[in-house]
Amino acid sequence: MDLNILQWINQNLHGSNFVNNLFKYISYLGEKGIIWIALAVILLCFKKTRKGGFLLLVSLGIGIVLNTFILKPLIARPRPWTLDESFVDFMNSINLKVPTDYSMPSGHTQIAINAAVFITLYFKKKGLWAWIPALLISFSRVFLLAHYTTDVLVAAAEGIVIATFVYFVGGLILNKIIKNYEESKSEKQKLKENE
């Protein structure tokens, strides 16, 4: 079924060169999580959003390590083009580098959904915008025949779990660290005043 979906996409949705290239560039947005990491770094620059930026970086870091170094080698699922070489012809037609690493879970999707979930949890309604690029990046991986649909679904579930865990557990730990630091700082200040 997974392969049939991609074959259907290849036969029915790749008629427009503009659309094909558009999804290629959307996919590039998610390359190595650069836009999400850049966003986290920007958030770190402002006191009001520093905590969110730090926790987003933690969430992305956990996701990248888990996805790249543990799940992909463990599952070791070959890319879709190994079963249908016409997928390589499509990728070559839009100058898209043919991926050679394992297929499941999709790194682009895991990072994008991870970021969207975390940003939404942390910033509430103000963070809903993050779902637009996240969903487009995720869909682009199937559209470009780089991943099976289940690669994307598993990666999305992974991203949801990681972001939710970091938001709640990481948030509690970070709040405790900040509270302890502020109490320690306050005590030192009192000691200085008493001297």
pLDDT in the model for residue 30:
87
- Residue 87, amino acid: F
pLDDT in the model for residue 193:
67
- Contact criterion met (CB below 8 Å) for 145 and 11: no
What burial letters (b/e) apply to 34-54, b meaning 16+ CB within 10 Å?
Answer: ebbbebbeebbeeeebebbbe
Per residue in 137-170, pLDDT (tens digit) is 999 999 999 999 999 999 999 999 999 999 999 8
Between 1.10.287.1080, 3.40.50.1980, 1.10.606.20, 3.60.21.10, what CATH number should domain 2-194 receive? 1.10.606.20
Between residues 192 and 175, the one the model is more confident about? 175
Instruction: Please check the confidence at residue 192 and state whether its pLDDT lies above 80.
Output: no
Instruction: Please check the confidence at residue 191 and state whether its pLDDT lies above 70.
Output: no
Report domain extents, the chain. 2-194
Helix (H, G, I), strand (E, B) or coil at 100: coil
Q: What pLDDT band is residue 2 in, cutting at 50, 70 and 90?
A: confident
pLDDT in the model for residue 53:
94
Mean pLDDT computed over 69-92: 93
Q: What pLDDT band is residue 194 in, cutting at 50, 70 and 90?
A: low
Instruction: Please check the confidence at residue 173 and state whether its pLDDT lies above 80.
Output: yes
